[in-house]
Chain A
């Protein structure tokens, strides 16, 4: 089991934490850790979400998170000594 850390920029609007937490709950994704903090832009908050899913499941977490209207961007934070794994999941469909 390996951990992935997602940095998620969200609109700082009421209910946004409930939207993200609710998504994880209803799609049965586990959150290991979750922190929310401000950014320089008061309209935008930053969430850091630690998840312990891999491959397909990770792709699904990201895709489903991205469907939330209040979610602006999602990027995976990789530890400094880790190179991105070769993609063994879906072909690139984002662009």
Chain B
């Protein structure tokens, strides 16, 4: 964080570029990820002298995801910086990713000189126009005097309310011109006043509805993480004694070992979590958004449940599902208000949840997550991930790519702490893992950071391992190498009669991942026998002065189960191919 005494005095003359860097310092930035280029070049001169650590990445997409990883671990805004045109357009994917997962991100881009804007100048792209749909807000600055205010507003908007990415595009001449530094004392935006404190009536309505419910469940989403409200979540869950499900974005917000935890709901959720939602009479929804991957066919989702919807973003209320009680506010404030209200309501009328708890616990014990060991002696991908989770320190951070390995990492690592699980949940960005793990490691340099990646994802962004090797960012990468675009292949198995069109990556032949790792300044390891899995993981854990890449060569045909096929009802969850849970043996 910035030290107060280092902040530049208002009224100091300087050029726009220096004003930008002084503004970033004033905003408390300690690290940023980027690549220079023509239009942003003026800014790189004062960056050279700044105390802000600039990490020179190998692709702007890496800068964006690294900033996201940094933000997801630290809870502070991540910062990335790029030049105009292609530099800026390479940030498009990470910005869209951050918007979908509500990540506080500030992206700075250079723009062609203001006189050239609109002329199809060299390296010109209308990045403000391009990023309008998936930034929380964005700016085009052409007057150097406006730089400090734009930066201050960008950080304010990115980090408050529902967090999100903000882009500040600055014309090259605005960076070059002389100006006077003027950091705003306070920020007041007429059109942006996020409501943090929930209204008292909605809190008492929520408490009353909870005491009338006999089958309540806490449906917890990523918002709980943004609000840093894990402690309050545990308190209210134990107060009511109701089951808790945590979505893909909320894993770790509630300890997986807790007896009330039913697991993750959704397309690849546990039978217990999916069915607890389906059979509930009240969804106590905390920072979740009724995403299609959770609800399955929306019209069949939890049809007998009333809904309490708590969210800081009013537009989420009623977007996909009607809310009987809406509580708009920051989740921490909300829970701090709701806990005593519920305590008082329960003192008068405590519903008996014992039958409900017995039913859901029966599901949990009957249908634990599991997997079949391959019969040919090859390595099971789930086993590799499970062992990584067992052998690594409890505070280790796991950063997944997208696909089968992501789901297995969500299922088989026991998350006990918030901000230890990072993934691209909303956008589903293959290539997220390596750069996001880099950012995570920068935010938590003393913590083990595992990138759990697929062989397909890894080949999209692995060049950032060079950045890691050169900048002392020793992440560990477990490539779950099934030589396929595994999740797509799974769908081809299930829905396209096993016609494997263009999903065979042949990545057990090419590339040679350990050699590639070696070439990028990392330690490369390989493992293709189940009996070597533990010692390979231990070897990787013992190397802390260099990034490590392990090529885990795993069984190709492993599939992710349970599964609710896209567009079908959660009631049709399958625990294996053509195998539904034995509903007749369940009380529900």
Contacts and interface: CB of A to CB of B under 8 A. Distances in A.
A14 to B, nearest CB: 7
Interface string B411-433: 00000000000000000000000
Contacts of A26: 133
A60 interface: yes
A19 B139 CA distance: 12
A18 B129 contact: yes
Contacts of A14: 140
Interface in B147-203: 157, 189-192, 195, 199, 202
Contacts of A66: 314-315
Contacts, number: 63
A93 B314 contact: yes
A94 B314 contact: yes
A51 interface: no
Nearest to A16: B191
Given A68-B191, A69-B192, A93-B326, A15 B317 contact: no
A95 B317 contact: no
Interface string B305-319: 000000001110111
B328 interface: yes
A39 interface: no
B59 interface: no
A56 interface: yes
B325 interface: yes
A30 interface: no
A68 B315 CA distance: 11
Contacts of B314: 63, 66, 93-94
B322 interface: yes
B132 interface: yes
Given A18-B129, A19-B132, A60-B318, A93 B328 contact: yes
Nearest to A44: B190
Interface string A34-76: 0000000000000000000000100110011011111111000
A10 B189 CA distance: 12
Interface string B298-338: 00000000000000011101110011011110000000000
Interface residues of B, number: 28
Nearest to A69: B137
B322 A69 contact: no
A2 to B, nearest CB: 19
A8 to B, nearest CB: 10
A19 B129 CA distance: 9
A91 interface: yes
Nearest to A63: B315
Given A11-B190, A69-B137, A69-B192, A93 B317 contact: yes
Contacts of A56: 318, 322
Interface string A14-26: 1100110010001
Nearest to B316: A63
A66 B195 CA distance: 12
B191 A15 contact: no
B128 interface: yes
B65 interface: no
A45 to B, nearest CB: 12
A81 interface: no
Nearest to A10: B191
B315 A15 contact: no
Contacts of A64: 315
Contacts of B128: 15
Given A14-B140, A94-B195, 11 more contacts: A11-B191, A15-B128, A18-B129, A64-B315, A67-B313, A67-B315, A69-B189, A70-B137, A91-B323, A93-B317, A93-B327
27 contacts: A14-B140, A15-B132, A19-B132, A26-B133, A56-B322, A60-B315, A60-B318, A66-B314, A67-B313, A69-B137, A69-B157, A69-B191, A71-B191, A72-B191, A90-B317, A90-B318, A90-B322, A90-B323, A90-B326, A91-B325, A91-B326, A93-B199, A93-B202, A93-B314, A93-B326, A93-B328, A95-B199
